[in-house]
Structure 1
Amino acid sequence: MSLYEAAGGAPAMLALATDFHARCLADPQLEHPFSHQGNPEHVQRLADYWGEVFGGPPVYSESYGGHSGMLGIHANQGAEAELGDRFVACFVAALDGAHLPADPELRAALSGYIRWATDEVMTYSPAGARVPAALATPRWDFDGLRR
């Protein structure tokens, strides 16, 4: 079973993205970058991206530029390191807020992913960072990153 299925599929991904986004907007340090997304479909796209990463359909890759596209949106922002920790904390809290299953293995896998993903995004945050084209969208399962 994929993480996507174990979490509850597309409805769970949308609930997670919705709760997470609201938490980021409520956070005094994350509010600024999250309030300037500029895309009214941001929450749905985030849900599609996470769904794909966790074993769901490749909606994000087929429609929005895949992993390189996602990294490109976040590149060159000059985010400070502490934003990453706050981002992770909002995600972990959103697991409860979105009423995802309390299964410890599922929660550990999802939390492991967001830490790994946040660290990757932060490597592209400095000014002048270049995101390689056509990066494969990562796939995450109960054992972590699938190679």
Structure 2
Amino acid sequence: MTLYDAVGGAPALLALAADFHARCLADPVLEHPFSHTTNPEHVQRLADYWGEVFGGPPVYSTAYGGHSAMLGLHASQGAEDDLGDRFVACFAAAVDGVRLTSDPAVRAALVAYMRWATDEVMTYSPMGSRVPAGLPVPRWDLDGLHR
């Protein structure tokens, strides 16, 4: 079973993305970058991306350019050092807030993914960073990263 299936698929991930986004807007550090997200489809795209990472259909890659495109949106932003920790904390709180899973192994895998993903995004944060084209969307399951 994929993490996508374990959490309830697209509807559950959309609820997670909405809760997570609201939590980020309420955070004094994360609010600034999240308040500048002018795309009205941001929450849906976030849910689509996570769905693909967790074993669901390749909606994000098909419609929005995949992993390199996602990293490119976040690259060269000069993010504050504690942004990553705050991001992961908001994600973990959102997982619990929407009651995404009662399985501790699934929750641990989700939070481990977000820690890994946040660390990857932060490597592209320094001003002038460039993202290589064609990076595959990572796949994450109970055992961690599979490329």
Q: TM-score, normalised by structure 1?
A: 0.99
- CA-CA distance at 1:98 after TM superposition: 1.5
- Residue 120 of structure 1 corresponds to 120
Worse overlay, 93-102 or 133-142: 93-102
* RMSD over aligned Cα atoms: 0.6
- Residue 146 of structure 2 corresponds to 146
Query: Does the alignment pair 1:133 with 2:137?
Result: no
2: CA distance between counterparts of 1:7 and 1:105? 12
Query: Does the alignment pair 1:59 with 2:59?
Result: yes
C-alpha offsets along residues 21-46 of structure 1, whole Å, 9 cap, x if unaligned?
A: 00000001100000001100000000
Map 1:21-32 → 2, pairs under 5 A: 21-32=21-32
Unaligned segments of structure 1, at least 5 residues: none
* One-letter identity of the residue aligned with 1:117: A
* One-letter identity of the residue aligned with 1:18: A
Map 1:1-147 → 2, pairs under 5 A: 1-147=1-147
* One-letter identity of the residue aligned with 2:56: G
1: CA distance between counterparts of 2:80 and 2:34? 14
Identity rate of aligned residues, in percent?
78
1: CA distance between counterparts of 2:102 and 2:29? 28
2: CA distance between counterparts of 1:91 and 1:102? 16
Q: TM-score, normalised by structure 2?
A: 0.99
* One-letter identity of the residue aligned with 1:50: W
- CA-CA distance at 1:80 after TM superposition: 1.3
- CA-CA distance at 1:97 after TM superposition: 1.3
* One-letter identity of the residue aligned with 2:114: I
In the TM superposition, structure 1's runs of 4+ consecutive aligned residues that sit over 4 Å from their partners are: none
2: CA distance between counterparts of 1:102 and 1:65? 33
Corresponding residue pairs, total: 147
2: CA distance between counterparts of 1:132 and 1:146? 19
Unaligned segments of structure 2, at least 5 residues: none
1: CA distance between counterparts of 2:68 and 2:81? 21
